[in-house]
Structure 1
Amino acid sequence: MFERALTGSRRYWTWVFVLLAVITVGLYSYFKQYSYGLGVTGMSRDVSWGLYIAQFTFLVGVAASAVMLVLPYYLHDFKKFGKMVILGEFLAISSVIMSMLFIIVDLGQPLRVLNVILYPSPHSMMFWDMLVLSGYLVLNIVIGWTTLGA
């Protein structure tokens, strides 16, 4: 499998280069944010919702819509949706993982996520987001795993 990733046409390697450039820009931007603070993401005293929280809410919506995609298959036994079910599950899993990563990045320093886990507060929305999304992720992984095994 790994050998196939190293062989490809010129178009393939151009695409790989473009993706690596996007990753490089993302890493540069993250290190800039790590150095200068969350102000570089558009957050300020006047704007309390920055780029990361906006992406978090969008991806939670994508994960919920993936469930709506697979519901007819599970509830109504609608067999025509059978091939879309696993795609919907993978979409939900990847959306939940990305939204959890946006929560971690929004904290400013990734190690601060340990405070959310080690010192849970029922008054903190961050705690409830992590708790619910973790449960939703486990649920989607189990459903996806059983769907692949079926």
Structure 2
Amino acid sequence: MDAVRRQHQRDAYAALLAEANSYFRQAGWAECSQQACERLGISYPPRERREEADRQACHIRAEVPTEPLRLAAAVVDLEGPKHISEIAQRIENNAHSVHVSALRGEVPDTLFDMLEEPPVREHRNSHLDLLNAIYAFTDAARSHLNDGKTPRQT
């Protein structure tokens, strides 16, 4: 592979990772809940205000833009190769799932919820799926850019 093409791929992969990690951080439930509490002027929502805080956190999560991540994934799709593009698509799909669940007002089970009572429903954790896709992409991109060799650890 020529150096120019490799550099284009490296730039595309780095841009996607930057956008994916940024989205992951901004759309994290803890981050959104903290912002919701700040907007409501409370430090931690008492039980009677938890639904209000959760609605606000969903609204904040839904406001996190997915477009920059989608555009970065499109460039990776152009640069390829196919197995890297497929993982980039997984990242995009998982981010979209996080966004849609926020629009629907779906609140993830928190540790506090699980301590009070076990979750009644079983559902996918799209935010965790996004993190796993980011890790898979990082590993695949690193391997591809290094011709399948793992960089030496120092």
TM-score between both structures, scaled by the size of structure 1 = 0.39
- Bigger helix fraction: 1
Higher relative contact order at CA 8 Å, sep ≥6: structure 1 or structure 2?
2
TM-score between both structures, scaled by the size of structure 2 = 0.38
